[in-house]
Amino acid sequence: MLAKLFKYPAVLARHQNAPLLEERELYLRHRAEQGCTPNTLLRTARELLHVVQLLDLNPTSLVTVQQIEVAAKAWSRSQCRRGRAHKLRWSRCLFVQEATDWLKFLGLLNEPVLQSPPFADFTEQFSGWLDIERGLSTATISNYLWHTNQFLQWCQDFNRSLATIKASDVDAFLGTRGEKGWCRVSIATCAKALKAFFIYAEQRSWCQSLIARAVQGPRLFSQENLPSGPSWVEVNHIIDSLATDRPKDIRDLAIILLFAIYGFRSGEVARLRLDDIDWETNLLSVYRPKQRKSQIYPLTPLVGHAIIRYLQTVRRQSPHRELFLTLKAPLRPLSTHGFYNIVIQCFSNAAIETMHRGPHALRHACAMHLVGEGFSLKEIGDHLGHRSSSATRIYAKVNLPELRRVANVDLGGLS
């Protein structure tokens, strides 16, 4: 690998004669398989040479994070004295990043062991109960665990054990969430998670009885918050703004179309794999975590062509089977947060100003477009993957043109 990167014999010899040649070559091949460009590999090779020289490494030596930091500071000061760097920060950060990644790859990084919190066993058993007994989706379980961990950490900070916690402690904790600026919906979600936790904790005799019954979040009114998102005209404006030859726009167009036309959730798009598309029958299979089963959709020509263009011109070879990957190495599947950032950026680039601008806003836009096209709530619910018709009824409430027609009906003098 080094012979491909360095053409001058003297430079190549300097790299080949340095310690840990085999380990550096192995790592460079690994980075190449991840999709790194030659320029990135060249920069990594140069940095690894400085790492082995400054840390005085051998094949069995374990290196601590503190040792890397000390060497990085010395290297950055040296670069500035030579006029090869204007600021210490860039040289130091690059050294730390490359050294950490390489040593972690070799198993030579002596990382500090993070101790699990004392309540880790509680949350682990609670997670299994939510999955097996309650049958909740992975996303819901993750949400419940996050809120539970926040509460238990708060209790630990105040030296309160689970056995001595009272209902007033839960109320006090929920009050601190409001002080942090949480809205009523978020606090109510937290209260729901804690109620579930204390139901299980009472069953296991971890805490005092009747706490779960006493957990109450702020009162929420049915359908008090109407779903909001861009109009269908604005959605088409976003789609038109992505009609370029830029690799990022080609990928993002396929993503936006899946959100807007099918109303998929971000987690559902993140889980899409290459095998989920049947090109012979033009069918798309998406896994619905709430129903715990897959749903089949016809692959529309517009979406199909956008995905094909992305696969042929943008998506690079990778062992990952997920459909959408990052554009830069190391190539890896996009996370749900990554999809959120992509959609937000597309809204900003198209100068679309709405209250909500994430993937779920496009899901609402899809639903409202289907309402406007005259589809029944049952058909819309099936398209969106709703488990209950109650989740779809809200779109009838926000269909203002139809509601105005109802209001203008002549009742023939009836009052």
Q: For residue range 180-221, list pLDDT tens digits in order.
A: 999 888 999 999 999 999 999 999 999 999 999 999 988 876
How does residue 225 score in pLDDT terms, banded at 50, 70 and 90? Answer: low
Q: For residue range 42-66, list pLDDT tens digits in order.
A: 999 999 999 998 888 878 878 899 9
- Annotated catalytic residue: which of 360, 364, 369, 383? 360
- Tell me if 304 sits within 8 A of 262, measured CB to CB: no
Residue 352 has pLDDT above 80, yes or no: yes
As a whole number of angstroms, the distance between CA 130 and CA 112 comes to 32
Residues 6 or more apart from 70 whose CB is under 8 A from it? none
- Annotated catalytic residue: which of 265, 288, 315, 369? 265
As a whole number of angstroms, the distance between CA 20 and CA 57 comes to 8
Look up residue 50 and give its two tokens.
Answer: 């400085």
Per-domain boundaries in the chain: 2-110, 120-214, 232-404
363 classed as catalytic: yes
Q: Residue 376, SS3?
A: coil
310 classed as catalytic: no
Answer positive or negative: Cα dihedral of 138, 362, 357, 329: positive
Of 10, 97, 111, 84, the C-alpha closest to 47 is 97
pLDDT for 264 = 93
pLDDT for 223 = 56
Look up residue 326 and give its two tokens.
Answer: 């990052």
As a whole number of angstroms, the distance between CA 75 and CA 71 comes to 6
- Annotated catalytic residue: which of 288, 363, 364, 369? 363
Least confidently predicted of 117-121, 158-162, 394-398? 394-398
How does residue 415 score in pLDDT terms, banded at 50, 70 and 90? Answer: very low
144 classed as catalytic: no
Q: For residue range 259-305, list pLDDT tens digits in order.
A: 999 999 999 999 999 999 999 999 999 998 777 789 999 999 999 99
CATH architecture of the domain 120-214 equals: Orthogonal Bundle (1.10)
CATH superfamily of 232-404: Intergrase catalytic core (1.10.443.10)
Residue 410 has pLDDT above 60, yes or no: no
Q: What percent of the chain has pLDDT over 90?
A: 55
As a whole number of angstroms, the distance between CA 252 and CA 182 comes to 31
87 classed as catalytic: no
- Annotated catalytic residue: which of 184, 192, 237, 290? 290
pTM value surpassing 0.85: no
- The CA-atom distances, in angstroms, between 135 and each of 140, 188, 190, 289 are 10, 21, 19, 11
Residue 39 has pLDDT above 60, yes or no: yes
Phi, psi of 109 (to 5 degrees): -90, 120
